[in-house]
Amino acid sequence: MGKIKKKYERGAATTYITRNSAIKKLQLTLADFRRLCILKGVYPQEPRHKKKVGRGSTAPKTYYHVKDIQFLLHEPLIAKFRELKHFNRRLKKAIQKRNINAATRIRSNKPKYTLDRIVKERYPSFTDAVRDLDDALTLCFTFANFPATKRTQVEMVHECRRLTVEFQQYVMASRSLRKVFYSIKGVYYQADISGETVTWIVPHKFGHEHPTDVDYKIMSTFIQFYTTMLKFINFKLFTSINLHYPPKLAVKLDEDGDEVTATREEKLEKLEALTHTLLSAGGDVVEEEAEPDRFEDGDNPDQVDQARVQLQELRDLTSLFASCKFFLSREVPRESFTFIIRAFGGQVSWDETVCGGATYQETDEGITHQIVDRPKLTSQHFNRSYVQPQWVLDSVNARRRLPVKDYVVGAALPPHLSPFVEEEEGEYVPPEKLKLLKRLQQEEEEVAAGDESDEAIEDEEDDDGGDDVEQSEDESEEDTENVVAAPATKRKRKLDKEPAVANKKAKHEVVTEGKREEVDVKKQLSRQQAEEQRLAELMIPKKHRRLYHKIQHKKKKISQEAEKLKEKREAIDKANRVQKKKQKHKPGVTA
C-alpha cells in the first residue's frame, strides 16, 4: 500500500505564503518588510485558487510566493534594518535623559546603506533599466515639485530636482523627445531613449497642499531606490553622447579672453534654466547620422526604403525649430516650453526679471516667434509672429510647423488632440483630426506641385534655347531651297510643294528629354503594407478559416462603433448650433 497523501501538503497550498507568516519568518516589522519588498522588487501575488491556498478558507489575505520569501532570507539589508532599529532606540533614550553629548555621538554614528548592489541585481543590463524608467521619472518629477516639509525632506526634494534636470539636459542634447501632450493631470512626454520608448508625466506647477490619504513613508522608499537607479542611467546616457557627468556648462570668455567665473549657485541656476549648452567631454565633435546601406542581394529594398523614409522624418522632426528663436511671456509655463523648444533645436529666452538664465531680451531683432497667453497685446514688433502656446505643442505632434494664422493672440484655438491615440483602419476619427490630416496632405501636395513647376520652368528654358537654334537653321534651309527651286509650271510647283511640307513637318518634330516620374515612397510603402495584410488574410488556410471570420467580425464591429460615434457627434454639433441660434435671437443679447 502506498503512502497516504495528506491534504494541503503540496501544490498551490505550498506555493504561496501569507504576509503575516512571511513577517514571522523574516523576523521583521511590517514597515521594514514593506521597505525590503519595495527595494528588492518583491510584490504580492494573486493565487488562482484561493480556497486551496487558504486551506479551505476564502478570507481576504495578502499572499507572496514562497520562493520570493526564501530569496529575502539572506538579504544583508535585514541586518542594516536591525541596526537602524537599535540606533533609533539608543537615540531616543539619550534624548529622554537629556544627554546632549551622547545624542550627538550617536547621531554621528548612524548606520548607512547603499542600494547600488540591488540596482545591479534587479537590472542586469542597461536596456532593462531603461524599460523600467517610466515610473521612476514620473515619481521623481512629482517629488521635485513638492515643497520641503516634514513629510518630504529637503535632501530628497533637491536630489529629485537635480536628477530630473540632468535627464532633461540629456533629452535636449540628444534630441530624443518625440511627443508632448498637455492634460489636466500634467504634461505627458514621450522620448526615444537608447531605442526604448519612455513615457512620463510632469505635474503642473501650482500651489497645492499635500494629500492626507497618501503614505509618504512608502513613497520615500520608492524615491530612495529610483534616485539610485536614475544616477546610474544618467551617467550612462551622458557618457554615451560624449558629455561630462555631472553636466558642465560651456565655458564663456570675457573681452580679454579670460574665463568668466561664476559661483556655484549661478551655475546651478543656469543649469536648471535649460537654455545653455553643455560642455563636451572630448571636444565639440558632431557625429553625422549614417544612412542605411543598400545591397542588391542581401537586404530587402522595401525595408531599406522604409528605413530611409523614417530616417528623413526623424531628421525633419529633430530640427523642427532649428531656424526659430522664441521669446516667452511671463504667463507662459517657462520650464516645460523651454524643454520642448530646446529639444527640437530652437532657441528660447524670457525676461530676466522673471527668472535667471535668460540669454537675450525681448528687443532682440532675431526673435521669430513670441509665445503669448493673453487675450490682447499692448505693443507688438512687426518682424515676429505672436502665437499662443498650443502652436508649439500641435506643431510637435504634427511633425511640422503649422500655420500661425490659427494660433494668433485672441483666436479660438483648435482642439488639442492627443498624439498617443492612433486610430486603426475603420475606427472613428474625430472631425478635427480629419481636418488637420487633410490640411497636411494639401500642404504636401502644394509643396510637391511647387517643386514640379520649378523643374518644368527650368526644362522649358532649356528647350526654348534649343528650339530657337533649330528654327533659325530650318529657316535658312528653307530660304536656300526657295532660291534654288524655281518651278516652271503649276503642276511642277504643286508636286514640289508636297515634299517640302513633309520635310518641314519632319524637321519640326523634335524629341524632348523625358522626365523622371516622382514617386512618393511613403505612400507607396503604406499601400504595399495594406495590400500585403489583405493578401495575408485571404491566404489563411481552410483549417484556420475561423480566424479569418473573427478578423472580419472585428472589423465589422469597429465600423459599427465608428458609425455610432459619428452619429452621436453629429447630434451634439446640431444641438450646439441650435443653442447658438436661440442665444443669438434672444432679446437683449447681441451677437
- Give pTM, 2 decimals: 0.77
Angle between helices 19-26 and 30-40 (to 10 degrees): 90
CA 64 to CA 41: how far, in whole Å?
Answer: 12
The x, y and z cell numbers of residue 568, run together, are 452621436
Residue type, 211: P
pLDDT of residue 262: 66
Q: Which residue do the cell numbers 516634514 mark?
A: 150
DSSP code per residue over 271-327 = HHHT-SPBPBSSSS--PPPPPPP--SSSS-HHHHHHHHHHHHHHHHHHTTTTT-EEE
Longest Cα pair distance anywhere in the chain, in angstroms?
A: 145
Nearest of 156, 127, 117 to residue 237 by alpha carbon: 127
Q: Measure the CA dihedral 89/93/96/98, to 10°.
A: -130
pLDDT of residue 472: 47
Nearest of 413, 389, 400, 394 to residue 441 by alpha carbon: 400
Q: Which residue do the cell numbers 531613449 mark?
A: 193
Query: What's the mean pLDDT when you consider all of the chain?
Result: 80
pLDDT of residue 464: 57
DSSP reduced 3-state for 374: coil
pLDDT of residue 294: 45
pLDDT tens profile 223-261: 999 999 999 999 999 999 999 888 888 766 555 545 565
CA 129 to CA 196: how far, in whole Å?
Answer: 10
Residue pLDDT tens, the chain, 591 long: 567 777 777 788 888 999 999 999 999 999 999 999 999 999 999 888 888 888 888 888 999 999 999 999 989 999 999 999 999 999 999 999 999 999 999 999 999 999 999 999 999 999 999 999 999 999 999 999 887 777 778 889 999 999 999 999 999 999 999 999 999 889 999 999 988 999 999 998 876 666 777 888 899 999 999 999 999 999 999 999 999 888 888 766 555 545 565 677 778 888 888 888 888 876 554 344 434 444 444 456 667 777 777 788 788 888 889 889 999 999 999 999 999 999 999 999 998 888 888 888 888 889 999 999 888 888 888 888 999 999 999 999 988 898 888 899 888 888 888 888 877 777 788 887 888 778 777 777 776 666 666 656 665 655 555 454 444 444 444 444 444 444 444 444 444 445 554 555 555 556 666 666 666 666 777 777 778 777 887 788 877 778 878 888 888 888 888 888 888 888 888 888 888 888 877 665 554
Nearest of 383, 400, 438 to residue 313 by alpha carbon: 400
pLDDT of residue 448: 64
pLDDT of residue 308: 79
Q: Which residue do the cell numbers 505693443 mark?
A: 379
User: Beta 63-65 vs 16-18: how paired, if at all?
Assistant: antiparallel
Write the CB contacts of 448 (distance below 8 Å, at least 6 apart in sequence): 518, 520
pLDDT tens profile 186-222: 999 999 998 899 999 999 887 666 677 788 889 999 9
